[in-house]
Amino acid sequence: MPSKESDAGLSLGRLVKFMGLLWLAGIAMRMTLLAMPPVIPLVHDELHMSETQVGLLIGLPLAIFAAAAVPGSLLIARIGTGLAVLLGMVITAVASGARGAAVGVGTLYAATIAMGFGIAIMQPGLPTLVREWAPNRIALGTLAYSAGMVVGATLPPALTFSFVLPLIGGGWRGDLIFWAVPTILIVPVFFFLSPKRDEHHDGILAIGGRWWPQWNSPLLWLLGLTFASNTAPFYSANAFIGDYLTNAGKADLLSWALGWLNGAQIFAFVVLFVLSSRLQRRPWPFLVFGPIMLVGFVCLMLQPSPFWIVFGASCIGIATAITMTALLALPPVLSAPADLSRTAAGMFTISYSCAIIIPTFSGALWDFTGKPWTTFVPSSLCAVALTVMGAFLVRFPPAGEAGEDR
């Protein structure tokens, strides 16, 4: 349910403040998660991990995203969206820093699971906050927190090698703790600047909020499977590109490849900002950028030259950013307001249940065949699925509720 300010229409100042808070929440939701890929070769060597274990390390948070999405929806219904998102931030920051204290693979997995639980609470909350804070600016609100997610995903790969590791002496443990600090600093900013809701409204929300997904809905399953085809390739690329390039004797390209894989998403948001009015329920993001993602993985598998490796990583980054934003903008439009958090929770449950299989299977495929390039084959198939299912998904009619962008 939108707040009174939303019902009356937002002033420019309040709109900017809300977009800024959504942007910060997006950063908090991805910065700690993407702090791991740049240091995976260091973790791999110190903890003597196999490629399957590396795949599981990346896949574990995705599994928790799936397992905790519905409880996160219930938490939103009980305590309110803003407080649930705030709680998720705290858990994410503390657990992420705890990874730096891991004494073995088991304790590293345990801290990663806790971090994934915190992020899983936040994920169904952000599209709900967009509907509550700015119901007439859904595309802009989605773009705001998606841009934050991209910034959060870009900073660790871009700064780990050039700044953080030299600053802290080159250890992966200190690096993980370093990237947890900004997330915990976002917590008080989010708390003090978020709009306050009256107790009567919170009581209504707690008693009457819908939280259990409608599992027999074809729309829910199509949303989940399409989103899985977007997220799994992105996490697989981040998980394996380090060991992949090291195995090929091209470890010097790792910072460039990771930086462009995540940093190229910034350029995607220039496109999204210009074309935001043409983003919602349009097939072009999937028909254009699904094939571009496929081209990116083919470039990585062929490894023809440093240029094509960086070009391929950039294609994957841009394609995942644009299709992710197009997908995240759909639940607020295709769902009734009262069903939004449970629809988002169901979508994340399905998508991450599928997405955990891809990084783990990708690592196992490398171990089984002994051919490093095979680790990107499942992601290439996901790019094809994203193209087809995404173009079909936008044909579903909107919920017809007030508040969608016009």
CB-based contact 375:312 (threshold 8 Å): no
Q: Is the dihedral of CA 166, 38, 295, 348 positive or negative?
A: negative
Among 10-14, 80-84, 223-227, 276-280, the range scoring the smallest mean pLDDT is: 276-280
The pLDDT value given to residue 378? 93
134 vs 192, higher pLDDT = 192
Do residues 182 and 27 lie in contact, with contact meaning Cβ atoms separated by under 8 Å? yes
- Residue 93's nearest CA partner among 73, 68, 72, 111 is 111
pLDDT computed for residue 277 by the predictor: 60
Residue with more model confidence, 95 or 343: 95
Which range of 71-75, 119-123, 315-319 scores highest in mean pLDDT? It is 315-319
pLDDT score at 110: 92
Phi (first) and psi of residue 3, to 5 degrees: -75, 170
Amino acid at 171: G
As a whole number, mean pLDDT of residues 143-170 equals 85
Dist. CA 209–CA 106, nearest whole Å: 37
Q: Angle 360-366-367 (CA atoms, 0-180°, nearest 5)?
A: 90
pLDDT of residue 286: 92
C-alpha to C-alpha distance for 295 and 181, rounded to whole angstroms = 36
Side chain identity at residue 195, one-letter code: P
| 4-393 CATH fold | Growth Hormone; Chain: A; (1.20.1250)
* Arithmetic mean of pLDDT, 117-141: 83
Give the residue ranges of DSSP H helices in 250-355: 254-274, 284-302, 306-328, 330-334, 340-355
Going by C-alpha positions, the residue among 55, 1, 397, 30 that lies closest to residue 239 is 55
Q: Is the pLDDT of residue 188 over 50?
A: yes
Rounded (10°) angle between helices 138-159 and 12-30: 40
Comparing 98 with 9, the larger pLDDT belongs to 98
Phi, psi of 73 (to 5 degrees): -65, -40
Residue 405 pLDDT > 50:
no
Instruction: Look at 6-10, 188-192, 212-216, 362-366 and tell me which has the smallest mean pLDDT.
Output: 6-10
* pLDDT score for 377: 93
pLDDT of 386 above 60: yes
- pLDDT, position 292: 95
* Residue 189: per-residue pLDDT: 94
Phi-psi region of 134 (alpha: psi -120 to 50; beta: other; left: phi over 0): beta
pLDDT band of residue 23 (cuts 50, 70, 90) is: very high
**Beta carbons within 8 Å of 110's beta carbon, 6+ residues apart:** 102
128 neighbors 205 (Cβ within 8 angstroms): no
- Convert 328-363 to b/e letters by CB count within 10 Å (16 or more is b): bbbbbbbbebebbbbbbbbbbbbbbbbbbbbbbbbb
CB-CB contact of 22 with 129 (8 Å): yes
Is 401's pLDDT higher than 70? no
Amino acid in the structure at residue 398: P
Of the candidates 108, 125, 330, 103, the one whose C-alpha atom is nearest the C-alpha of residue 230 is 330
The owner of tokens 């997908």 is 327
User: What's the pLDDT at 395?
Assistant: 81
d(CA 84, CA 220): 23
Identify the pLDDT of residue 197. 59
pLDDT digit string, tens, across residues 48-107: 888 778 777 877 887 887 888 788 778 887 888 888 899 999 999 999 999 988 888 899
pTM: 0.73
pLDDT for 1 beyond 50: no
Of all residues in the chain, the percent with pLDDT exceeding 70 is: 89
Helix (H) and strand (E) counts in the chain: 19, 0
What is the rounded radius of gyration, in angstroms, for the C-alpha atoms of the chain?
Answer: 20
Tokens representing 117 are 């639980």
At 190, the pLDDT band (50, 70, 90 cuts) reads very high
Q: In this predicted model, what pLDDT tens digit does every residue of 248-290 receive, in sequence order?
A: 888 788 778 877 887 777 777 777 666 656 666 678 889 999 9
Q: Going by C-beta distance under 8 Å and a sequence separation of 6 or more, which residues neighbour residue 155?
A: 31, 179
- Write the DSSP assignment of 149-216 as a string of letters: HHHHHHHHHHHIIIIIHHHHTS-HHHHHHHHHHHHHHHHHHHHHHSPP--HHHHHHHHHH---S--TT
